[in-house]
Structure formats: C-alpha cells, structure tokens
A and B are shown apart, each in its own frame.
Chain A
Amino acid sequence: GAVVSQHPSWVICKSGTSVKIECRSLDFQATTMFWYRQFPKQSLMLMATSNEGSKATYEQGVEKDKFLINHASLTLSTLTVTSAHPEDSSFYICSARGGAGQNTGELFFGEGSRLTVL
C-alpha cells in the first residue's frame, strides 16, 4: 500500500528557532501534498496544499512567511516553522495524494509530528 512517512515524530525547540518537518511518500509519487495542523481533541485544519515544482497554496489565515512549504520532488515535501513560538506547538500531519489514490482522491497520511516550543 501507499506509505507516507514524517520526520521527526517529536521535536522540542526553543522559542525563536526554526524547525523543519519532512514528509516523504515512500512507494509512490505524490503529485499533491497537504499539510494539516491538529490541536488537542480537535479536527484537522488544512494549512496548505503543495504541488510538486510550484508554490504552495495557503489557506486563509495561515501565514506563508511563518510556515514555509517546499515540495521540490515528487516524494518529498517539507514544512519549516520559522521563528517558532509556544503558540505554534501542535501536531502537524502531512498527507499525500498520488499513485493508486489519484482517481479516488484518498489521502495517505504520515504519522504526524508533535512540535513543542518552549
């Protein structure tokens, strides 16, 4: 089946530093990747949609300069949280569409990355 892997699973950083989260599709080419943020006991909030080789499309209210997304290849997208602050602490989940899921639209999710900013 389609496998999406995120790294790191957990990251703790100091306020003001930047953190990069990677999302890889391991056995298929992901033409589109999505980044979500999930607060405790809440649903997933779509942050941005990235297509390989083009700029990401951000959802309303998401700061593009703070959450930098790069989708340089068909198997890798990165989310960089710049100048992180405690309010950026959250569970970030990526998902990818491609391969067998291209027609049905199903998304394959990574394991999620929990960011804690001190």
Chain B
Amino acid sequence: ETGVTQSPTHLIKTRGQQVTLRCSSQSGHNTVSWYQQALGQGPQFIFQYYREEENGRGNFPPRFSGLQFPNYSSELNVNALELDDSALYLCASSLVTGGPQETQYFGPGTRLLVL
C-alpha cells in the first residue's frame, strides 16, 4: 500500500509568482484535503476534493485553487504569491463512502518560501 506523496519537497518563489503543488493520494483513497501550516501553528484547512469536485473550503481567498484528477491525485495552485504564503503545505487523503468519519492520512508536505 502506497502512502501519500507530495512534490516538490521544497520550493522557493518570489512575490507575485504562481505555484503548483502536487499530491498523490494513498492507494484506495478518493478524497484529498489541503492544509497550510505556518511556522509554529497548527494546520489550517484550505479545501477538500471528492470525485474531482471541491467539497468544502476554509477561509482562503480565491487565488488558492485546486484540482483533483480521475486517479484521485490532486494539485494546489496559488496565484499572486504573497510573503505570508510561506508555509508547509500538507496534503491528506481519505476514503469517503458516505458512512462514519474517515481518517485522513497526511503526506510529508511541501515547504514553500516566498521571497
């Protein structure tokens, strides 16, 4: 069974640029959630994708967008990068069947630095 993987591991961008982060979900999982974790803080929910559609969104502006592909992998896109976007971006996958709450399993994260 393959765990959640993310790429790249580290990334440096400048303010105003755009970035795309990638996530491969754990084998058998159909849902992907993205989180932003600033230094010293807990992860903050960005959004979740289920069956290629957004299924819930946290308090993040529209310049944070995402995609989920038929193989359940996902991308997080951030436009017009700001200095405060510097953070660890975490992807978590889970299996949603419509029953009780499903456990989310996290990837190692992508460390983004905006200069």
* A joins B in a complex: no
